[in-house]
Chain A
């Protein structure tokens, strides 16, 4: 029973972190993806590249920069100062910020693809029916791109759950606040608590399987809808 309480803490925290991150990402990534799909400015691929960087960078690069940026000498320290703290490292807020940055490409990309796949035609038709661009976005583009949004949300959630390196570097391993699943497993393995490690790791495998399978099913349905 005690072991269960130990395990449940990190699991709950991970779900909270991934849920909040995904929600924030949908708000940030959707307009960004829309702009990337529709804009004709010459530097938009440069912007897309910047967004995609965390996909390629080792987590240690992000962890290093974030440790400095969230700390007392970076912007994070300034923000933390607003409520009398000194740093955003070791806080749940800090983890959310880190997760948003590192999971961003996994959300932006599918949504951008979905918007691009719609093409100009449906929006032109909407315009001839006197829909304003905003209305066309909400009533035409967004519903048509909803499979992409779903894919983005699932990937963003899953990637945040799987985040490890960055969190290890800026988390401080505080139970209930920054001790998430992946770092808890690391701890259990380091201290040879195989039973706990096994339960969590096994659960993660099942979770990952479910995520990827559902992704494929979404894709298939998306393809059928378009076909």
Chain B
């Protein structure tokens, strides 16, 4: 009986993963790029028939997983260090790395007026400041850099709460558990309410977000096609619409 169940279950799994005519690619996407990636994947499917299966999380977490044989074929990081390291350590294909977007950091609040963000940070009329974990998420690292550049890091440090990735930092501010927070400008696309301040680019090193073809995708048509599609005009339009700049 148990054996028959097992066979049935395997059959079911087999049906799910039956090779379709069009290909599939598993893409690890930095959390800040969630929304544009969804749009791009939908368009990609429409145009090519290939399916991009997206996973979202902190770039650092993905990198650790990739170095431990995670089944990702494409990596859209929120920085350039991790794709570079992936190439150097032999987990990604040399020569496939490129910058797909340059991110912008924003201060956002649903409670305090942060239209003049520098002033709002200096005034400190808030109890919690949300950032992404600087060790694992490039936007978190950029937030720390910006605070240090403003000479406010030590003063605001006791107020900092960390999300495990930028999506969680956003959610802390969105639920108003933290009054203010550093998020990716792209996350604020289509969000109503609250005030925001675009952090001047000079306050932190540029958030160059690189994509790379991973070893597991080297022989996979859909993976290569996805990266090509990401470079294409249609993708660039989507990326720019979300507030990223391009090279």
List residues of A whose CB falls within 8 A of some B CB.
67-68, 70-73, 85-87, 89-90, 168-169, 172-174, 186-187, 189-192
Contacts and interface: CB of A to CB of B under 8 A. Distances in A.
Contacts of B61: 190
A186 B127 contact: no
B177 A72 contact: yes
Contacts of B135: 187, 190-191
A87 B130 CA distance: 13
B161 interface: yes
B83 interface: no
A190 B64 CA distance: 6
Return the 9 tightest CB-CB contacts between A and B, nearest first. A172-B161, A173-B162, A191-B135, A89-B177, A190-B136, A71-B177, A87-B177, A90-B161, A190-B61
Nearest to B130: A172
Q: Is the interface of A mostly helix, strand, loop or mixed?
A: loop
Contacts of A87: 127-128, 176-178
B164 A71 contact: no
Contacts, number: 67
Given A86-B179, A172-B162, A186-B164, A191 B60 contact: yes
A168 B164 contact: yes
25 contacts: A73-B176, A86-B179, A87-B127, A87-B176, A87-B177, A87-B178, A89-B172, A90-B128, A90-B178, A168-B164, A169-B168, A172-B128, A173-B161, A173-B162, A173-B163, A174-B160, A174-B161, A174-B162, A186-B164, A187-B133, A187-B135, A187-B136, A190-B58, A190-B64, A192-B63
